[in-house]
């Protein structure tokens, strides 16, 4: 994985255990989120973004269960999914800064990270919008003889929209090897998840009743996420969809400018983190020197990424109209360019 290589450059040895790997990846994701938040505060970014801080176990556990040639689609809260799949921290942060070294050349921003070469097909800013993409792409790979699979991440809010169950149904019908990951962080913006679905795990019950293999995992235990992820990924490789609901906690506000104190207690996120931080929970199983090695490598990687992202060029305004169509001669005004 790209991120592991990045860390190795900063003298972390091999990440020998699953715990070390999870720890390293989760820390990297969190550090990227923290860096983005910091730079946002310093006004390097305008516009919004959605932090996955505190939810890292889902992205990390699932990502570690995947192969390089697997495909991922994600949602608006996708920085962790991207990093986990191997999008460089630089490309993520630079996209946030809208630089040409961003993963979409700086024209997408926070909700439009795409990196085909590492299989991160990408985010979408429409809740539930990427589910068909993942399953159609995975189904094609299978058809072409590959056992690569796709993972489609979406939130609990997405499950309130019919598209989620519908996409699972269609994937099941056509036997698309797609793992649907429902990251239940307790909220769809200001709408509490349990008010819509009942307690965490309720969504899994529904998908189970659809006769699609489904598991519910408490995301405070990253190792458990990884293990269940591996099981399901293995099952999906046999050519069927599956579903996993991971209960996580949205530590930060919905998006950077969200007045979440209006609908949940102030500091609720921070308090949860103090008590349950899944990254901290991993420490016990990792040697202290290795923890430090990882920490300093992560911080070096993120510093480098921030630096590189900041130094990226802004897109030329003359570039604004490029690439709407693949067809030769079709630009924004079509006909005029054809002739």
Partner 1 sequence: MRREVWAGMAALRFVDAVRQALADEMEADESVILMGEEVGPLGGVFTVTRDLIERFGPDRVMDAPLAEASFTGFALGAATEGMRPVVEIMFSDFVMIAMDQIVNHAAKLRYMTNEQFDVPIVVRLPGGGGSNHGPQHSQSFESWFAHTPGLIVAMPSNPSDGYWMMRHAIQLNDPVIFLENKAMYFGAEQEVADEPPADPWAAAVPREGSDLTIVSAGRMVGRCLSAAESISTRGIDCEVIDLRYLWPMDVDTVFTSVAKTSRLLVVSEAVEFCGWSGEVASRVAKDAFTSLDAPIFRVGALRCPIPVGVALEDEIIPTVERIEQAVVDCMDF
Ligand X SMILES: Cc1ncc(C[n+]2csc(CCOP(=O)(O)OP(=O)(O)O)c2C)c(N)n1
**Contacting positions for Mg ion (CB under 5 A):** 155-157, 185, 187-188
Kindly tell me which residue out of 187, 197, 216, 243 binds ligand X, with binding defined by CB under 6 A: 187
- The residues that touch its own copies, with contacts defined as CB under 8 A, are 160-167, 169, 173, 195-196, 198, 202, 205-206, 208-211
Contacts of 289 (CB under 8 A, 6+ apart): none
Using the rule CB under 8 A, is 210 a contact of partner 1?
A: no
> What are the residues facing 151 on neighbouring strands?
72, 179
| Per-residue contact flags (x/-) with ligand X for residues 127 to 166, judged by CB under 6 A | x--------------------------xxxxx--------
Q: Indicate whether 170 belongs to the interface with partner 1 (CB under 8 A).
A: yes
- In angstroms, the first-to-last Cα distance of the chain is 46
Closest residue to Mg ion: CB criterion: 155
Sequence-distant (≥ 6) Cβ neighbours of residue 186 within 8 angstroms: 156, 192, 193, 194, 200, 247, 248, 249, 250
Binding residue for partner 1, selected from 80, 122, 219, 269, defined by CB under 8 A: 122
Which residue, 156 or 277, is less far from ligand X as judged by CB?
156
d(CA 114, CA 121) in angstroms, rounded, equals 5
Q: Does 48 bind partner 1 (CB under 8 A)?
A: yes
Report how far residue 223's alpha carbon sits from residue 282's, in angstroms, rounded to the nearest whole number.
9
**Contact region for ligand X (CB under 6 A) — 32-40, 121-129, 167-175, 329-337?**
121-129
Q: Which does 187 bind (CB under 5 to 8 A by kind): ligand X, partner 1, its own copies, none?
A: ligand X
Determine the size of the site formed for partner 1 (CB under 8 A): 80
3-state secondary structure of 6: helix
Rank residues 77 and 85 by Cβ distance to ligand X and give the closer one: 77
Helix (H, G, I), strand (E, B) or coil at 100: coil
Tell me the C-alpha to C-alpha distance, in Å, between residue 78 and each of 37, 52, 134, 173: 15, 7, 14, 27
User: Within positions 78 to 117, which residues make up the interface with ligand X, using CB under 6 A?
Assistant: none
Task: Tell me the torsion sign for CA atoms 272, 232, 74, 262.
Answer: negative
In the block, residue with structure tokens 């993409």: 133
Where along the sequence are the contacts to ligand X (CB under 6 A)? 50, 76-77, 125-127, 154-158, 185, 187-189, 250, 254
């Amino acid at each position: 994985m790209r991120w592991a290589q990045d860390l190795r450059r900063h003298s972390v040895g091999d990440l020998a255990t699953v715990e070390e790997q999870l720890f390293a990846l989760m820390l990297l994701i969190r550090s990227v989120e923290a860096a983005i938040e910091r730079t946002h505060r310093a006004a390097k970014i305008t516009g919004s973004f959605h932090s996955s801080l505190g939810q890292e176990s889902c992205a990390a556990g699932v990502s570690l269960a995947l192969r390089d040639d697997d495909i991922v689609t994600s949602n608006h809260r996708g920085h962790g999914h991207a990093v986990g799949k191997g999008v460089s921290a630089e490309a993520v942060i630079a996209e946030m800064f809208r630089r040409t070294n961003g993963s979409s050349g700086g024209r997408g921003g926070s909700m439009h990270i795409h990196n085909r070469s590492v299989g991160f097909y990408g985010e979408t800013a429409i809740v539930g919008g990427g589910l068909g993409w993942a399953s159609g792409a995975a189904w094609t790979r299978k058809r072409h003889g590959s056992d690569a699979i796709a993972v489609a991440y979406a939130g609990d809010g997405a499950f309130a929209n019919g598209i989620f169950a519908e996409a699972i149904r269609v994937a099941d019908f056509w036997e698309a090897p797609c793992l649907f990951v429902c990251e239940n962080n307790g909220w769809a913006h200001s709408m509490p998840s349990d008010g819509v679905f009942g307690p965490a795990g309720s969504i899994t019950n529904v998908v189970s009743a659809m006769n699609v293999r489904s598991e519910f995992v408490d995301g405070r235990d990253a190792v458990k996420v990884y293990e269940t992820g591996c099981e399901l990924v293995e099952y999906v490789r046999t050519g069927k969809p599956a579903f996993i609901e991971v209960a996580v906690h949205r530590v930060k506000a919905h998006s950077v400018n969200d007045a979440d104190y209006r609908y949940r207690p102030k500091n609720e996120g921070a308090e949860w983190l103090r008590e349950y931080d899944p990254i901290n929970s991993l420490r016990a199983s990792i040697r202290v020197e290795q923890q430090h090695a990882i920490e300093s490598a992560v911080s070096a990687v993120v510093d480098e990424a921030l630096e590189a992202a900041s130094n990226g060029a802004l897109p030329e305004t003359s570039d604004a109209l490029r690439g709407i169509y693949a067809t030769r001669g079709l630009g924004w005004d079509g006909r005029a360019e054809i002739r």
